[in-house]
């Protein structure tokens, strides 16, 4: 089973930059998107054989998630069931026979950390939501989680210690989530690999110089970690300031 996650930073824009070619080439069973920045029907992309699910923000042109899947879900949920957190289209959950697939676009703490306190509340609520799902069946959660969890996960850790995405508060929340029974699949298979990033600033030719951050993830419940066969970053794929990440699982069909 092949799963893809990609923050496309605007699906309509990404469609003009090769998104469709990559989608066809990668042949995923489920393709999860973050930061779609659109309402359903605003993009002309309906690949044959796939069902599509969109969770759009109430604010037009902002945030949003989507999943294209050729696997028939048992059920679909939008949001996490917490009123405070369910207006920005940040979560979709598809239930399959053997597992839950969750795509998430975690709130950014913003410049000057103006949204850090909201982010902390979100983190607790989202972690509780994942753990509730995990009590029923294993969980695969993917998306732009807006945190580089360790120094190896960004180019310049020292100078970013009080910047959004690398504060101790955000890293501690990721550590706490993992401690509750989840595994970072990329680090499971690539524990010491350096200079592997999934996001680069548009400024200062950051991507050309590979000055980036690894903030896009596939996490899985610990009990299905042995099913992980491939977890990688497609950092040569262009079209967004993020690149796709991939997970392949065996025995979960």
Active site residues: 105, 144
Token pair in block for residue 67: 């999943």
Query: Backbone phi, then psi, for 139, in 5-degree steps?
Result: -120, 135
Q: Say how far apart CA 119 and CA 94 lie, in whole Å.
A: 24
Q: What would the 3-class secondary structure string for 157-215 be?
A: CHHHCCCCCCCHHHHHHHHHHHHCCEEEHHHHHCCCCCCCCCEECCCCCCCCCCCEECC
- Rounded to an integer, what distance in angstroms lies between the CA atom of residue 212 and that of residue 240? 13
Give Cα separations from 41 to 38, 49, 68, 87 (angstroms): 8, 17, 14, 19
CA dist 159 and 126 (Å) reads 28
Length of the chain: 253
Q: Tell me how far apart the alpha carbons of residues 182 and 188 are, in angstroms, rounded to a whole number.
A: 11
Contact 113, 167 (CB under 8 A): yes
In angstroms, the CA 221 to CA 129 distance is 13
Q: Which residues contact 229 (CB under 8 A, 6 or more apart)?
A: 248, 249, 250
Q: Could you tell me the two tokens for 167?
A: 């504060």
User: In degrees rounded to 5, what are phi and psi of residue 244?
Assistant: -70, 155
């Amino acid at each position: 089973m092949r799963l893809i996650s990609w923050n496309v930073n605007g699906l309509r824009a990404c469609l003009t930059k090769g998104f469709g070619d990559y989608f066809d080439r990668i042949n995923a069973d489920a393709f999860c998107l973050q930061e779609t920045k659109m309402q359903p029907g605003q993009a002309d992309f309906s690949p044959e054989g796939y069902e599509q699910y969109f969770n759009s923000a109430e604010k037009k042109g902002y945030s949003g998630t989507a999943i294209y899947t050729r696997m028939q879900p048992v059920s679909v949920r939008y949001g996490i069931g917490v009123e405070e957190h369910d207006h920005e289209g940040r979560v979709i959950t598809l239930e399959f026979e053997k597992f839950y697939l969750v795509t998430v676009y975690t709130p950014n703490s913003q410049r000057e950390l103006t949204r850090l306190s909201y982010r902390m509340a979100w983190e607790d609520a989202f972690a509780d939501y994942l753990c509730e799902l995990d009590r029923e069946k294993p969980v695969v959660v993917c998306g732009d989680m807006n945190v580089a969890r360790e120094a190896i996960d960004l180019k310049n850790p020292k100078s970013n210690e009080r910047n959004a995405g690398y504060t101790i508060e955000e890293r501690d929340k990721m550590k706490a989530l993992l401690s509750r029974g989840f595994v970072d699949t990329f680090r499971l298979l690539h524990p010491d690999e350096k200079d592997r990033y999934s996001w680069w600033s548009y400024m200062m030719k950051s991507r050309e110089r590979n000055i980036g951050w690894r903030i896009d993830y596939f996490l899985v419940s610990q009990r299905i970690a042995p099913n992980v066969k491939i977890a990688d970053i497609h950092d040569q794929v262009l079209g967004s300031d993020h690149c796709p990440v991939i997970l392949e699982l065996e025995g979960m069909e």
